[in-house]
A and B are shown apart, each in its own frame.
Chain A
Amino acid sequence: MSGSCKAMANGTAVVVGDVSVQPMPAFRSSVLEEGARGGRLVSLFPMEGPDGTLLFAFVAQDAMGTVALFAGALGSERTYPALTAQWPQAQAFERDLWENGGITPEGHPWLKPLCFPSLRSGQTIPADYRYFAAEGEEVHEVAVGPVHAGIIEPGHFRFQCHGEEVLHLEIQLGFQHRGAEGLLRNAPAPRRLTTAESIAGDSVVAHTTAFALVEEALAGAPVPARAHALRAVALELERLANHAGDLGALAGDVGYLPAASFFGRLRGDFLNLTQGLCGNRFGRGLVIPGGVRFDADPGWIDGTLKALTVLRRDMEDTAGLLFGSASVQNRFEGTGILYKDTAELLGVVGPAARASGCGRDVRQDHPAGYYRFAQVPPQMLASGDVYARAMVRWLEIQQSLRFLEDNLPSLPSGFLRVEAGTRQPGRIAVALVEGWRGETVHAAATDASGDLAAYKVTDPSIHNWMGLAMAMRGGAISDFPLCNKSFNLSYAGHDR
């Protein structure tokens, strides 16, 4: 590795002044080189300062367990040659830079607003936007959303089809854009925390843990081991609830109702365990900068271990039904294939990546907090279809059950929280958390007075929505609900 970057560990901060700032052409080529060596872009954002605008890129080096930080000095013209042309996984980040930062990545192959934020332009998503269109005899277009048939977040899907076959899918998001990053940077401390809890309401623990790790790294707070352990317990409960819910929804989408209703109920049982710990089914109120607010008392631990015995049995029964049914397998296998090279190219993360043979998992590659002491090897399949995405979830459910059974009886003792303290000036921090949906990243930088000069959230959905669009190509439009559910991406997390 060259001296052009600063190698950081997950959940740490460095002095901004220690990062070598390169002119844009050199910045660009060193980031691309890191990508060519197998690096993955986990965050890309600008910081406005008295000496001009810096562009920061965090590139995960999974094999080394480090995250490389690159800094580029953006000139007053606020343009640079786009990374995306050579490195497609930068596409969403650079579109965000363009629409939110007023920075133009020149030569970006698809410089379309990501969210149509009303912040800068005052414009909402235009009704007459010209979507990519295919032409030809018997080619037709299908438009779905933003309001969907079920209780689902809003998004618009525009299909170009030839008969049943999907030639192209353009996914228009942004309907959920609430300006969360602005609040995370500027709002008072209590509201920053509740905003972090609401980036994606099904990934509260993942987002608040990343949020807290960044705050703690910027302040240099010594977080107690018990707090780290309880965050991990809550994160695995979050994974169990969502994975169980997803398997149920997949069963429902192929009309296999017994597994749909059993998994639906089991999901609620996991949420109720979280509720017993912190009073909220989704883990709100648990994680705070400096630690956690609620302890796992012996009664809760005993009760949870007993409940897990029954839940494990019921989950095994139900998974046996789902994966043992020939009609289910027939619908899952070969549907919505995301090939490994496409997944690599787009920087897909989480179960969707692991189902396509990409062995990445923050808990293994960049362990922070309690995961430094408890190993969680990635669960992988190679086929990249709906079956693989379902099976990876089932393997991870078993792994999370084992994690809780192994660790709950012997949680580290000690304090629950410390004062997070004040942020140190001129620092930049990054935190990666493997949420149930995948890699959840928060990054922030402070100015000379310790105030936040930049705050960036990367929900796993930022990478993965394009993966869904690619998995649909050449597939049948009637398979879309099933494919969509097998990724189960966050609209709110993407739109922020």
Chain B
Amino acid sequence: MIDLLRARLRQGYRTQPFPPATNPLPERFRGLPVISSGPCAESCQTCMEACPTGAITTDGGVKLDLGKCLFCSACAEACPEGKILFSQDYALASTSREALVLNGEGIRPKVEALQGEMKRLFGRSLKLRQVSAGGCNGCEADLNVLSTVGFDLGRFGIQFVASPRHADGIVVTGPVTRNMASALRATYDAIPAPKLVILVGACALSGGTFAGSPAVAGMPTDIPVDLYIPGCPPHPLTILDGLLRLLGRLGK
């Protein structure tokens, strides 16, 4: 017992304030891409060719779809003019899928906070059921980490629960394999309405690196999505930021 107390004292209080006073992410962290506006050199497509997932188009200026982006920065490395840079900005979540397609002209991911009845129901207490549908355990790991002492998701009234029947919403990771399609549907159906649907990671948003694979069914198009959280995997701060913005818990 005395050793336990000594260890606890040595390690100290470890829960990080959120939002953090200063961005804690290192220089090499790849967050929100910044695209310089203006035309590229004629017929230059090096960024497009370097991209593993077809997230970039170059018709009429560079457009980058964060829903497909794996944040590998191969495009930034390939561009001869340095038109794409990855910032340390971790706020990537969006309630609009369209707002994830950046064009260098002011479009950026945007979260519209829940309003009215939804805000009243979920704003101070949100129980989520997670389903991994082909996730590689990257997104799953960074969702799990939110419940550790460092991020302490519980202090915000958000909790991952064991049964869909206890949940207010579903968090989906992975590209939705054919073999998981029916289990995902059954879990979604078991959650009582009204319910939230949150997609985490490039695979859930677009198939990611597995898009178009014959073994992948993809996220069913008839399930309405309330929040998109891009990344491969999204940093825990990105997920936390998105959840709290959705609940209207961050002042901005």
Cβ of A150 within 8 Å of any chain B Cβ, yes or no, is: yes
Candidate in A198, A276, A281 with the most chain B CB atoms within 10 angstroms:
A198
> Is A20's CB within 8 Å of the partner chain B?
no
Smallest Cβ distance from A235 to chain B, in angstroms?
Answer: 17
- The total number of A-B Cβ pairs within 8 Å is 201
Fill in one digit per residue for B109-133: 1 if any A CB lies within 8 Å of its CB, else 0: 0000000000000000000001111
Question: What chain A residues lie within 8 Å of B51 (beta carbons)?
Answer: 190
A153 adjacent to B137 (CB under 8 Å) = yes
Is B28 in contact with A279, judged by CB distance below 8 angstroms?
yes
Q: In whole angstroms, how far apart are the Cα atoms of A62 and B210 in the complex? A: 35
CB pair A285 B72 closer than 8 Å = yes
Q: How many residues of B contact A (CB 8 A)?
A: 67
| A118 touching B148 in the complex, CB below 8 Å, given contacts A124-B179, A174-B179, A281-B142 | no
- Cβ of A152 and Cβ of B140 under 8 Å apart? yes
Among the 9-residue stretches A310-318, A335-343, A468-476, the one with 4 or more Cβ atoms under 8 Å from chain B is: A310-318
B3 near A151: Cβ-Cβ < 8 Å: no
CB closest residue in chain A, given B143: A151
Most B CB atoms within 10 A — which of A149, A151, A202, A262? Answer: A151
Give the chain A neighbours of B134 by CB distance below 8 A: 175-178, 492
Interface bits B82-97 vs A (CB < 8 Å: 1, else 0): 0000100000000000
- Distance in Å from the Cβ of A419 to the closest Cβ of chain B? 14
A258 at the interface (CB under 8 A from B): yes
- Cross-chain contact A202 with B137 (CB below 8 angstroms): yes
Chain B residues with CB below 8 A from A195, complex form: 209-210
User: What B residues does A280 contact at CB under 8 A?
Assistant: 29-30, 71
Determine whether A56 belongs to the interface, using a CB cutoff of 8 Å to chain B: no
Instruction: Give Cα distance in the complex from A491 to B132, angstroms.
Output: 11
Q: Give A387 to B70 CA distance when docked, in angstroms.
A: 39
Query: Given A154-B180, A201-B135, are A275 and B10 neighbors across the interface (CB < 8 Å)?
Result: no
Chain B: which residue is nearest A146 at the CB level?
B183
Stretch at the interface among B33-41, B211-219, B244-252: B211-219
Q: A204 vs B233: C-alpha distance in the bound complex, in angstroms?
A: 12
A139 within 8 A of B: no
Determine if A324 and B216 form an interchain contact, defined as CB atoms under 8 angstroms apart. no
Residues of chain A within 8 A of B45, CB atoms compared = none
Report yes or no: B72 in contact with A262, Cβ–Cβ below 8 A: no
Any chain B CB within 8 A of the CB of A307?
no
**Smallest CB gap from A249: residue in B:** B144
Residues of A within 8 A of B135 (CB): 153, 176, 201, 492
Tell whether B26 is near chain A: CB-to-CB under 8 Å: yes
A66 close to B (CB within 8 Å)? no
What 7 A-B pairs have minimum CB-CB distances, sorted nearest first? A201-B138, A201-B136, A279-B28, A179-B215, A149-B162, A190-B52, A264-B148
* 16 A/B residue pairs, CB under 8 Å, sorted by A: A118-B214, A147-B183, A147-B187, A150-B160, A153-B137, A154-B183, A177-B215, A179-B210, A183-B209, A198-B232, A262-B7, A264-B148, A280-B29, A280-B71, A284-B232, A321-B4
- B-side residues, CB < 8 A to A, are 3-4, 6-8, 10-11, 14, 25-26, 28-30, 50-53, 70-74, 77, 86, 130-145, 148-150, 160, 162-163, 174-175, 177-183, 187, 203, 208-210, 213-216, 232-233, 235
Mark A residues whose CB is within 8 Å of B.
115-119, 124-125, 127, 146-147, 149-154, 174-180, 182-183, 188, 190-191, 193-195, 197-202, 204, 258, 261-262, 264-265, 267-268, 275-282, 284-285, 293-294, 313-314, 317-318, 320-321, 324, 490-492
